Structure 1
Amino acid sequence: MAKNPAKSQTRLAPERRAALVADYEAGMPVRAIAAKYGVHRGTIPTLVLRAGASLRTPGLDDAGRARASALYAGGLTLQEVAERFDVDDTTVRSAVIEEGGDIRPRGRRPQVSGR
């Protein structure tokens, strides 16, 4: 029978917790914060709220959804658009669908005339 290895908890000093919250408020992605401080990404919202800060709204706002959808319709891949907005490609996919766009089949990009 395999044992479930105990994972050690990372205890952050007050200065490190304050720096984590500052990074979060500055817009650093949660995954990057988790890697930087050695904590689970699910711990970050708890630490932010305990510090009295507010959580960011995930995803794209209305203008961001429209812009992401237009970039995708213009020929960029979901991943390329996601990198521009610093979000996940599934967020862009949802934005394209919400804006009434169609998701292209996977594989080669369509050839654009004039290239």
Structure 2
Amino acid sequence: MDLRREFENPCPHLKTLSLRRSRGFYKQDRRSSRPSMVDSRGRMVRSLGMAQTLLRAEQVDELVARYRDGATLVELASLFSIHRRTVAEHLTRRKVPIRRGRFDPCRIHEAADLYDSGLTLVEVGLKVGAGPQAVRRALAEHGVPIRGGGGRRSRMATAS
């Protein structure tokens, strides 16, 4: 079998692999000689210069229970010192449906007035304590026309 013919036009990944091997890149052990990091929550993994916290099964159980009791993704992320997307991934793995942004229906008139005054969805959300998409859904359901362009009205139009 003629290997040269088989590998005449290698893909970039194979070229990189071949180059690294020829330079001795794979002859050295790249693992740290230091022991893995540990804190009060348990073992931490060092990957690409960023420490990652691994939650134990009982911690994930507590996370799920608190979420079902009404805690938000951001609150749980802060509590467990992990990213909010990691919280969402743990919940998804446990087949817990993720709640959409909360919006208090009794504040719809306040949100509509703020939006009509020229504030953006983000700014209205900050004032009424909800995310911009939750505000958008609530305003659209209430019949408030949503401005196009995803931004504030022209300052010149409001100044005239």
CA distance in 1, matches of 2:75, 2:99: 17
Equivalent in the alignment of 1:23: 66
TM-score (norm 2): 0.46
CA contact (8 A) 1:34 1:44 kept: yes
C-alpha RMSD of the superposition? 3.2
Q: 1:11 aligns with which of 54, 72, 87?
A: 54
Which one has the bigger strand percentage? 2
Q: Can you give the 5+ residue segments of structure 1 that lack an aligned partner in the other structure?
A: 106-115
CA contact (8 A) 1:68 1:96 kept: no
1:72 lines up with 2:115 in the alignment: no
4+ residue runs over 3 A deviation: 73-77, 102-105
CA distance in 2, matches of 1:56, 1:49: 8
Residue identity opposite 2:139 in structure 1: V
1:50 lines up with 2:97 in the alignment: no
Q: Can you give the 5+ residue segments of structure 2 that lack an aligned partner in the other structure?
A: 1-47, 116-122, 154-160
CA contact (8 A) 1:68 1:95 kept: no
Worse overlay, 23-32 or 93-102: 93-102
CA distance in 2, matches of 1:47, 1:101: 36
Residue identity opposite 2:109 in structure 1: A
Q: CA 1:97 to 1:18, structure 2 compared with 1: closer, same or farther past 3 Å?
A: same
Q: CA 1:73 to 1:45, structure 2 compared with 1: closer, same or farther past 3 Å?
A: closer
TM-score (norm 1): 0.60
CA distance in 2, matches of 1:96, 1:68: 11
Larger radius of gyration: 2
Q: 1:59 aligns with which of 92, 101, 109?
A: 101
The alignment covers a number of residue pairs equal to 95
